[in-house]
Amino acid sequence: MAVKTCLMVGGGGMAGGWINRMAQKFGDRIKIIGLVDVNRDVLDRQAQTLGLSEDQLFTSHEDAVSAVNADFCGVATPPPFHAPATVAALEAGMPVISEKPIADTLDAAKDMVRAAQKTGLPCAIIQNYRYARNKQELVRIRNEGRLGRLQHIVGRYACDYREFESWGKAWRHTMEFGLLFEGSVHHFDMLRFLSGGDPDTLMGFGWNPEWSSFDHHSSGMYLVNMDNGTHAFYEGNSSAAGITNCWHREHYRAEFEEGTVEISEGATVTIHRVGQESEVYEAPEIEWEGHDHLFDEFLNWLDGGPPSETRIEKNIISYAMVIAAMETTLDGQPKKIADYVLDLDL
């Protein structure tokens, strides 16, 4: 496979992790030929690492997409800047892989979907938590029918972010619905993945305890029924003070016809059956995990392979769940997920 050239939008923070990953694990498949960041110090530092010249550095994506002809564009900026960069890159003829969430608003996310469909170019969204050994094993158990039919899934996310800025950045503590947009977007997508269904109706509540470090809701509980007859319940808590299930340690419990599967951190899978000792084992190895899987899958797509499982036309459903959770929190009414994407041809 030929090396793919990349225009990278974003150079620090999460984008810095992308750049390191591309260099260390995909150096034989990806070459960054242009870099965009509003911070000049970040540009200069990454330019030294990547061996980029001054004419390959940009402080605006508009200048970059008009000057750089890359095989694809990577977007890893704060969410408000995803849509402008993605749409510009697609319209310039470049496929895109972007960080989640898709965008900061539903309208912006829809603009990205329409741009991908209009240009016919690949556009994938990062949903790295799907690609962990224990999650993949739970899906195999479901698909192979090892425990019969799936009834429902319970997901729990709980982090101790009671101290201001403990969630990495101050803006996560001051933004509206930070739990949903920065946290639950991952977990709603996981409930889709683990259940094998897409959401029909979502309802629930959000709140902010008095001891929270957040300006807005730090906690919520949401119930979802899926189009394949399964159900899901989600607990999100960014003010946890006791039992925590923080990043990469979220707890999922799947209730099947003939037993229960529990997964949390690491690769451990636990199966419970009434009247029997619990079965505990390590899930099988997988070739690529997390971001690595998504980069590999996207590169294969560019080479004519199957589309990414988290392509934007599919991932918009996970984002619609976030919007539905926000609105049901505000008005207390159940939300039909299909209503949020009626104007899209999915």
Q: In this predicted structure, what is the pLDDT of residue 169?
A: 86
Q: What is the pLDDT along the chain (346 residues), one digit of tens a residue?
A: 789 999 999 999 999 999 999 999 999 999 999 999 999 999 999 999 999 999 999 999 999 999 999 999 999 999 999 999 999 999 999 999 999 999 999 999 999 999 999 999 999 999 999 999 999 999 999 999 999 999 999 999 999 999 999 999 899 999 999 999 999 999 999 999 999 999 999 999 999 999 999 999 999 999 999 999 999 999 999 999 999 999 999 999 999 999 999 999 999 999 999 999 999 999 999 999 999 999 999 999 999 999 999 999 999 999 999 999 999 999 999 999 999 999 999 9
Q: Where are the domains of the chain?
A: 4-125, 130-284+319-338
Q: In this predicted structure, what is the pLDDT of residue 262?
A: 99
Q: In this predicted structure, what is the pLDDT of residue 126?
A: 96
Instruction: Using only the alpha carbons of the chain, give its radius of gyration.
Output: 20
Helix-strand-coil percent breakdown of the chain, rounded to 5? 40, 25, 35
- What is the rounded CA–CA span in Å between residue 189 and residue 176? 20
Question: Residue 333: CB partners within 8 Å, gap ≥ 6?
Answer: 203, 327
For 281, phi and psi rounded to 5 degrees? -155, 165
Task: Give 130-284+319-338's CATH code, choosing from 1.10.1740.10, 2.60.40.420, 2.40.110.10, 3.30.360.10.
Answer: 3.30.360.10
- What is the rounded CA–CA span in Å between residue 320 and residue 342? 11
Class of domain 4-125: alpha beta
- What is the rounded CA–CA span in Å between residue 125 and residue 76? 10
- What is the rounded CA–CA span in Å between residue 221 and residue 203? 9
Contact 74, 65 (CB under 8 A): no
- What is the rounded CA–CA span in Å between residue 193 and residue 130? 7
DSSP 13-67: THHHHHHHHHHHHSTTTEEEEEEE-S-HHHHHHHHHHHT--GGGEES-HHHHHHH
